[in-house]
Amino acid sequence: MQSHLVRGITRIAAVAALAMTAGLQAVPVMAAEDPLVLGKQLFTKSAVPACMLCHTLKDADASGAVGPNLDELKPNAARVAKALRDGLGQMPPYKSLSEEQILALARYVSQATGGGN
Ligand code: HEC
Q: State whether 48 and 9 are in the same domain.
A: no
Residue 95: CATH number of its domain: 1.10.760.10
- What does the pLDDT look like over 24-54, one tens digit per residue? 544 444 445 799 999 999 999 999 999 999 9
Q: State whether 27 and 38 are in the same domain.
A: no
Domain that holds residue 17: 1-31
In this predicted structure, the answer to whether residue 9 has a pLDDT above a threshold of 70 is no
Q: State whether 6 and 54 are in the same domain.
A: no
**Quick one: which of 59, 111, 50, 56 has its CA closest to 80?**
111
User: Where is average pLDDT lowest: 15-29, 63-77, 88-102?
Assistant: 15-29
- Of 54, 86, 95, 101, the residue with max ligand 1 atoms within 8 A of its CB, to mutate for a pocket test, comes to 54
Q: State whether 99 and 42 are in the same domain.
A: yes
Q: State whether 51 and 100 are in the same domain.
A: yes
Q: State whether 67 and 10 are in the same domain.
A: no
More confident residue, 30 or 86: 86
Q: What is the distance in A from the centroid of ligand 1 to the CA of 83?
A: 7
**Quick one: which of 59, 84, 82, 56 has its CA closest to 68?**
56
| Shortest-distance atom of ligand 1 to CA 105 | 35
The total number of structural domains that make up the chain: 2
- Other beta carbons within 10 angstroms of residue 39's beta carbon come to 26
What is the Cα–Cα distance from 7 to 28, expressed in whole angstroms? 33
